[in-house]
Amino acid sequence: MKIFLKENVWDEALKRIDRIFEEFDNNVIISTSGGKDSTVTMELALIVAERRGCLPVKMMFLDQEAEYRMTIEYMRLAMADPRVEPIWIQCPIKLFNATSMDEPWLMCWREGDEWMRPKEDISVKENLFGTDRFHDIFEKIINHYSPDQPCAYLAGVRAEESPTRLAGLTTGQTYKDITWGKILNRKKHHYTFYPLYDWCLSDVWKAIHQNNWKYCQIYDELYRYGIAPHKMRVSNLHHETAVHSLFFLHEIEGDTWDALAKRVGGINQAKHMQKHEMFAVQNLPWMFNTWKEYRDYLTEKLITIEKNKAIFKKEWARMDNLYAEMAYPEDLYKKQIASLLVNDWEFVKIAGFLNSPAMIVYRDWKKGKLYSRTRTPASLKYVKEQYR
């Protein structure tokens, strides 16, 4: 439930950012992807830093190689801002490739490979961070640049974008009374904070246009093409949450498409498939009796890497046990099948469904904690109808 206050999100975001600069003695790094939320976070942080007299501010961009050309063009402008101390990272890392069962990784910026584009003159080209995994490297980067003192990332993540983010950013203390963040290393006092967590999409674009801030122009192209706002991703073109971009990339940025198809296995195949072929889970194929049977067949036949297959099977067994009493288990099976179709063995796509209010209520009921929570009679009636 949202509670609307008299304060506006602009003023509150500035107060939050100022507090982070104060708490961490101006030792702050802006983490940006080139997206709209990162852009607003960066611009607000620069306003605060200028008021505090602590310019320039470190700004970090983890370049995943398979990026829109327009994202890179915007990042060149942002990194050239004299108020910014650039940390443009183009070091070898492993990135998940959702377009291929046989080549599940892109080894970004690996020496000896033919990259999609040359590295930037100002970039960090050597992996100095002790890991080559995307999700682990952010903690390692902040540890590299601030090994012996508290430090904070500022990043652009909003609760409006998914139920998982809403739950994560409004419950549980990250730092003192702050919920809108993430603990990276509590012992070293390294954190990530999301000062725009309660902003809406309209707030973001109003701030950009009202202040005449530069932004990544790929958003304009995606808008003209008719892409839904929640699918407008500007970073990493082959990840499981961005794979929809492959169906129009060749029309929006033909040069990027050519480079990506040459660089990453499975890209060209994805283009020639239709969306309903690659992501279809609405209609059960006639040769299967149940959605569970279809899921198990795809797990066995579609996933070619034995290690990944074992991960899927283990997770399906866990979920089958936990959610055995769901009234409509086919809803879960469809989500599991969607994960299989893009080889999402890290279960990113299914996380939003599992953290939706209905599934949280089910788990509370399963643990016997449902009736100990404060609920309205209407919500209890809904639960009784949905779950045996």
Give the pLDDT confidence score for residue 242 in this predicted structure. Answer: 56
The answer to whether the Cα torsion of 133, 62, 24, 149 is positive or negative is positive
What CATH fold (topology level) applies to the domain 9-202?
Rossmann fold (3.40.50)
Backbone angles phi, psi at 16, to 5 degrees: -65, -45
Q: Say yes or no to pLDDT of 47 above 90.
A: yes
**Per-residue pLDDT tens over the stretch 121-141:** 999 999 999 998 888 899 999
Q: Of 295, 294, 305, 302, which is closest to residue 336 (Cα–Cα)?
A: 295
- Bigger pLDDT: 169 vs 312: 312
- Calculate the alpha carbon distances from 127 to 57, 60, 110, 233 in Å: 22, 14, 10, 26
Domain ranges for the chain: 9-202, 216-273, 291-386
pTM score: 0.75
Give the pLDDT confidence score for residue 265 in this predicted structure. Answer: 64
- Bigger pLDDT: 241 vs 44: 44
**Per-residue pLDDT tens over the stretch 17-46:** 999 999 999 999 999 999 999 999 999 999
